[in-house]
């Protein structure tokens, strides 16, 4: 079982949990993630370590190698309504605070193809922000992690939390080819759709910031995703934004509860009877970026074959960095 990992930088005295070791500081010692599938799921086994040498986060903690296998449904189901991962409330002292109801998803919400864990935008107050006690006037106990902890991240937008789990909250630092190479992620080709960068826990894939023809995507829904043809198959997928909501705005599908204990309580509310086969609120993008009105679309999970082919090329790319 995965433990709920809050996004709070660890203290200088914090050491790695029993049975784990500090993450390697050289690429020669880094272990790439293992990605496998069966009839129902994709499995990504990762050490949770950053795949780049000597990451320069400014908080004093150390990232720890913690072998973990994450599960992603190969045939995702759409949620009846989008599953919130963190909703804006108001800005206070320069930091966005998030609503307490619905509470943001704290900890992991997905994994990149390089094995780095993706956290949502939410974080408990206190790390670089005020909490609503002692008359501070702070509006919530939850804050936007990028606003609150932005001074602790490394060159790839990541840092370790209190149990040593390295993670990112934002993709801004690797939105160009230089950043992708620095962060051991595959680069986009000019004029083409962005490449696969990972998967969210609902099983839907997430790509870089460019859509068809290398253009900025249109018709994005509130989760920052949409549907159009990828490698010949209509595919719902997310795009990583350059700013808010940092990664995704919500889960479009039913997230796999075994990946984060906070997700288990959401199943009955957002995914009764296991979820839906078709998108109840579709956002289609036609060829060239035109918006296509429609009533529903079937789940195609990033088209499994296409995803596997991209992962294969991704791993080849990563090996070139050794």
Q: What is the pLDDT of residues 74-122, one digit of tens each?
A: 999 999 999 999 999 999 998 999 999 999 999 999 999 999 999 999 9
User: Could you report the per-residue pLDDT of 21-49, keeping only the tens digit for each?
Assistant: 888 877 778 888 999 999 999 999 999 99
For residue 217, the model assigns a pLDDT of 92
pLDDT band at 171 (very low <50, low <70, confident <90, very high): confident
Long-range contacts of 227-230 (CB under 8 A, 24+ apart): 227/279, 227/282, 227/283, 227/284, 227/285, 227/297, 228/284, 228/285, 228/286, 228/287, 229/287, 230/193, 230/302, 230/303, 230/306
Q: Is the pLDDT of residue 297 over 90?
A: no
Q: H/E element holding 321?
A: none
Q: What is the C-alpha to C-alpha distance for residues 178 and 113, in angstroms, rounded to an integer?
A: 17
């Amino acid at each position: 079982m995965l433990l709920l990992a809050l996004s709070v930088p660890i203290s200088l005295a914090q050491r790695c949990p029993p049975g784990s070791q500090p993450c390697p500081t050289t690429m020669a010692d880094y272990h790439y993630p293992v990605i496998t599938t069966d009839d129902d799921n994709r499995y990504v086994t990762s050490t949770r370590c950053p795949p780049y040498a000597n990451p320069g986060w400014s908080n004093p903690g150390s990232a720890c190698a913690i072998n973990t296998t994450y599960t992603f449904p190969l045939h995702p189901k759409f949620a009846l309504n989008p599953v919130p991962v963190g909703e804006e409330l108001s800005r206070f002292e320069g930091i966005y605070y998030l609503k307490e109801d619905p509470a943001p998803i704290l900890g992991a919400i997905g994994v990149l193809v390089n094995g780095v864990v993706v956290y949502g935008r939410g974080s408990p107050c206190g790390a670089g922000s005020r909490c609503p006690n002692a008359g501070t006037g702070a509006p919530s106990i939850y804050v936007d992690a990028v606003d609150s902890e932005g001074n602790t991240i490394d060159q790839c937008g990541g840092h370790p939390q209190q149990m040593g789990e390295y993670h990112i909250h934002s993709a801004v630092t690797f939105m160009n080819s230089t950043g992708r190479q620095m962060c051991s992620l595959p680069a986009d080709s000019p004029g083409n759709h962005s490449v696969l960068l990972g998967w969210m826990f609902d099983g839907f894939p997430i790509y870089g910031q460019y859509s068809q023809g290398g253009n900025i995507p249109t018709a994005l829904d509130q989760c920052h995703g949409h549907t159009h043809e990828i490698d010949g198959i209509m595919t719902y997928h997310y795009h990583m934004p350059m700013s808010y909501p940092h990664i995704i705005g919500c889960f479009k599908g039913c997230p796999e509860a075994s990946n984060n204990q906070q997700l288990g309580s959401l199943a009955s509310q957002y995914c009764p009877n296991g979820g839906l086969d078709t998108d109840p609120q579709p956002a289609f993008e036609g060829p060239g970026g035109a918006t296509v009105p429609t009533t529903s679309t079937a789940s195609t999970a990033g088209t499994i074959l296409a995803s596997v082919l991209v992962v294969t090329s991704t791993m080849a790319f990563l090996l070139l960095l050794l």
